[in-house]
Chains A and B, each alone.
Chain A
């Protein structure tokens, strides 16, 4: 029996690759399989080579895996540009030609012979033979045209896939009935059926079959961006302001879709400085608010971020990393904004940063970011990347069955304000250090409340908000603001399990340390390394500020040597651990990747074997070269 299918659908951007793969993934999920998708796209709106992989198996799938075993190559319809001056060159065959490197031995290829001529690929035949690939040319475009429109060749491809993998067509039909209606549905169903039947009558040379699985409960298919939006909504966020920038735009558009329906407000504004400033304004006026961006846009938010720290205004900012510096590679993931997010803005800073490792953590830690921001009155940042933003994964529906939390944190009622400490000027002592409150949090009032007026200012200020450069006041206020981070560290330590992810045998000799979106890939590599006789465990860190010191210390103490895996060129995460904890410098080696693609498990396996086991003494950094492109 086939253990897993990794189905890759390739075509031109704008050819419906995304929606087709999403629907197919959903059909697989509904039929009981665990699924995970990986999206690859160029920085171009239409045309240009793109693909999505759907990995499906009977058990938990937490990464894209290594390579793939089924290619559906649709042909790039946008390569045929009618305006000759804007001709892109003949790229129709790219969806076939560009995808061969990662196709596993014995894999299946279905290509659209209506659009692709394999003779344009000089070594195609040889490679097919060498790799024992099973090739099925089908006139997908012809089938689509016959019963509907050319764009529906996706559906023909899915019908062919089902027939070739012995997958029950009903799952796909059900999904189409949910997603479409009328003539479009009719045409798609006919095309699906026709392709299925036509392929069923052919002779097969391959032995791949769709695996089967079973879920105990209803599943939902969500992306990292979805999870962030849902987390924010459940934590009572009803205001978002933003400016589009890939890949942050996904969270922004999702929130703009949900918020008006849920009685909230979404604002697309003139730039990212304004976006962050609006979020502060809304929060100051008593609403749970967020903003966000990607690298360059987040750079613009640096001043409002500092203002939030100084005025102790709660706010959540989302940072979706892509490869930088500057505009970098807009559609490619990297984790190299870590230091930017930790240290941007002037002064000694009091902010919290979470770096979720998967879809579930993205939900959980967005909620945590809001909880912490409002409970402790400071900015909290959710740092993720282009990889996590678009990958889909099935999650138990019950995971989301939780109480909403619209709590604004320590705000006083008017009755309480009447009793609260006021300055001789009549102002409420908003920024007072209350010795009984060991959190360092001073309760706030909301504009419009009686007895609560105060001045929030980005200048250093006295407890009631008067601008002050008095040295004693400065020390007291600054230490109170910074001191909150220690309390937050303790608070997070108490929230068991949801912040760091351990994997592998506890007594392993070696450790792999990572943060953010590389978690699932690292865990898969750890399994493989242990199967191959190594002794390895991993720790995926999501609490990067305050750094999860206790867990990291315990982890690093328990291993002989560790490999730090991250998508940066300058080992930023390892640098953070070294800066914050110090003494593990000699134990840590780096495995870095910064070519625009996330790690694949085999790269970590190979990296581990060469760095940890192969060389003496271990080099500190290694670059894993690109696989494929």
Chain B
């Protein structure tokens, strides 16, 4: 297998990042990464917790140079950190947040290391494990998904081709964290492997997103989610000029896609993927619901649902979605399978959540319910019912907060005398809906 350079910019003086309004050259970036590589402790696994996207990329590069594997947990609860420490001996956390407190050895991102002169781009072994993305397993232990450098590169180049990212022309701005598989691929790897630049910022409010776009050099690519897009469409005033909109984490409602294209005068492309397989298909939403797989990737129907393989995908990966397969490369998304849940791009299963709440001391019986979605782009929250005579709602919420990503915290959480289980011990949806209605009337 061929080896791949860390980035593909043709000149050492080209821009690779935009930080606080200043362009950072390839030479500066590689100098900082090389200095950091020399500073890292000798350990096999590194948890890259840098919120600043530039620092995240520097840490990722330094870890590759030292052959340390970067762990990318999309959220870092105290419980996740404990589980990762147990699964990955020698793991340490490198963060740019001085207030970060978790049960792992912590190193704060060092400022002001003297950068050596770097005059060429490091070339890295395609077979080396570059990153481990994590999903939550049904029992609560994070499930690791190892990504080789070669697989990440091939995926980022396929994406660049699909999105039409041109050498030296584009600057990518993301509203998603670099630790999320989508953010990692589309806001870090995509620019690095297509000669583009990326913004270090992760603006939060719509007004901040617009202001940051105005500051970017070159043609702006906004990498975002349906949720952030809906917020952006609510901003009054003149929209900033965007060259390309990219959305992922949940399928975009057609009316949102139309509205976004009309407002920003830019094409909107959606990316389809999952942490296990990475990204593997795209569509332009205003042209219809059909997704097209990346070259070399194919989707097949299997006994246990749908699977994806080929291209950069390692082996065969089962998907948590129900599809209408029109050809091995073309499909329409019909919905999620079974009890899978996706809230604002964070994925879990009801089985996992039920397991977590049932494990809390004092909980006799409990269940999470996903209400039907109401409006496109809005975030629907979970409801939970618990039988826990000795706990207050606040103490139960506190225990849940230790275990769950905030996105999955129930809203509302109801403490009840019993759950409407049927003769076989199951909780029919109808019975839960009736319980919900009776609680609403009582309040």
Pair from one complex: no
